Structure 1
């Protein structure tokens, strides 16, 4: 799933490609992805793109005051095309294409979603905060006003909820998903199961520094890259996420995994849990 650094880089890349271009039309191929009806998708035709910005994990294409907002979810992506077919895109069970934005210079943007689990979402709105997911977003962790006191308040308000889940909850902090929550906790040397309100002052300081450094470094690395390069860049710099069974780059211990119904987390026992492996509930059930 694209997270804050990749979505920020996509916004920068697309802003450079789309700004001041007119949208000829938007073809909706997978009708389930369009979540709004007023304004209609046709309201974008003839509009001029003023820019592309990010709200958490949402991409916002501002076209003459009407906003085409994308949430790429687990398997969505955007693909730039220097030239798109002249005929409107049509539904096909063999194609991952969900929607296509056609520009006045015959270039365009394909919005795709792989797999059978469809959760990609497109919205056409007059104001991004009309979208519930954006309206309830927490603060952006790279914003100037995201201070250590803000983080402390979020953690205290979360009580004894596991810190991994608190970091991923978009209403707490915007833009962090499964991958970067693993990376942040590894950098901060914290167990993903640690209660959010139990951090010492030193642990809080370390976690805040990890938030700013890990995410900030990822944004800087991704800045200027084309959409086609972002997934590879992200994967090549992850230290624990997606690296089960591999050595931790810090201490050399084996990266472990805890599996859930539809996701998993990765961590280093030596760096994060005092050398003690965490219980993998799904694996434990299989061994019974």
Structure 2
């Protein structure tokens, strides 16, 4: 799933590629992806792109006062074309959800697998998108301080840290992979209750959030969309690395599986050597 650093990488790429260009093609191939109907997506045609912004994991393409907002969900991605295929996109059972053209170049929004959770919105105001309106603070925003994190932890005192970090109402943009990375850097168990952290542990968590996300964004800077996912995978320390040695302490990285997801952690760095029980039916990752 693309998380804040990859979405920010897409934002920077699109900002340099389509701002100032005119929308010439708007071809919806998966009707279930479009979640708004008051303004048709074809209303964007003929207008210039004014800006590209990010709200957590949502991308926001501002076009003539309207906002094309999309969320790539777990299996979605953006495929860029320096020159779009001339043949119009057709509705079907393939991965293509939306094709956007801008005087020659453009992009496809695609979604792998059978689940269809990629979401597209055309609105007058980003706040009209429920997921955007409900977002918590951006952990790299100027207003996100150590005190802000303390308030979030206290208001979720009986919730495990992994769940706190992944809840978009608490923090905008962190998902499954970077929550694992952050907790390993902070040397905190994913199952530790948010309200049980000491002052030093809260400080370590705040520093880890900032450091991991900033480093990931720096790595993503300048990469085209086709390279962002591989760049993420190759840079992760623990997520997706079960059975491999932890790069920090050498302990074998462990995994906890759930019904539709998993988490990875280092027993040596995070749990005092204890291997956590596999809570496959846990509701931690709701």
Do the structures match in fold with TM over 0.5? yes
- What secondary structure does 1:281 align onto? coil
| TM-score, normalisation: structure 1 | 0.96
Cα deviation for residue 88 of structure 1 reads 1.9
Q: Where does residue 137 of structure 2 map in the other structure?
A: 139
- Report the more deviating stretch, 80-89 or 6-15: 80-89
Q: 2:56, 2:135 within 8 Å by CA — same for their partners in 1?
A: yes
Q: Secondary structure at the match of 1:152?
A: helix
SS at match of 2:24: strand
What is the alpha-carbon distance in structure 1 between the residues aligned to residue 30 and residue 268 of structure 2?
46
1:222 lines up with 2:220 in the alignment: yes
Give CA-to-partner distance per residue, 1:45-84, whole Å, 9 cap, x none.
Answer: 1110011110000000000111100100001000111112
Alignment partner for residue 170 of structure 1, among 168, 171, 176?
168
Which SS does the other structure have where 2:5 is aligned? helix
Range 166-175 or range 217-226, more displaced: 217-226
Please say if 1:99 is aligned against 2:98: yes
Aligned mates of 1:148, 1:116 — CA distance in 2: 41
Alignment of 1:59-208 (within 5 A): 59-93=59-93, 95-104=94-103, 106-208=104-206
**Superposition deviation, residue 86 in structure 1:** 2.8
Q: Which runs of 4 or more aligned residues in structure 1 lie more than 4 Å from their structure 2 counterparts after TM superposition?
A: none
Deviations 1:130-179 (A, max 9, x none): 00100010000001110000000000000210010000000000000000
Aligned length: 282
Equivalent residue for 1:261? 259
The aligned residue for residue 41 of structure 2 is 41
Rounded to whole Å, the distance in 1 between the matches of 2:86 and 2:79 is: 17
The answer (yes or no) to whether the contact 2:259–2:281 under 8 Å persists in 1 is no
Structure 1: 5+ residue runs without aligned partners? none
Q: Could you tell me which of 231, 234, 240 is aligned with 1:233?
A: 231
**Secondary structure of the structure 2 residue equivalent to 1:209:** helix
TM-superposed deviation, 1:283: 9.4
1:282 Cα offset (Å): 3.0
Change (3 A) 1:265 1:11: same
Over aligned residue pairs, what C-alpha RMSD do you find? 1.2
For residues 175 and 239 of structure 1, the distance between their equivalents in structure 2, rounded to whole angstroms, comes to 19
SS at structure 2 position matched to 1:216 = helix
Structure 2, unpaired ranges of 5+: none
Residue by residue over 1:215-269, the C-alpha shift from the partner in whole angstroms, topping out at 9 and shown as x without a partner, is 0111111111111111111111101000011111111111000011110000010
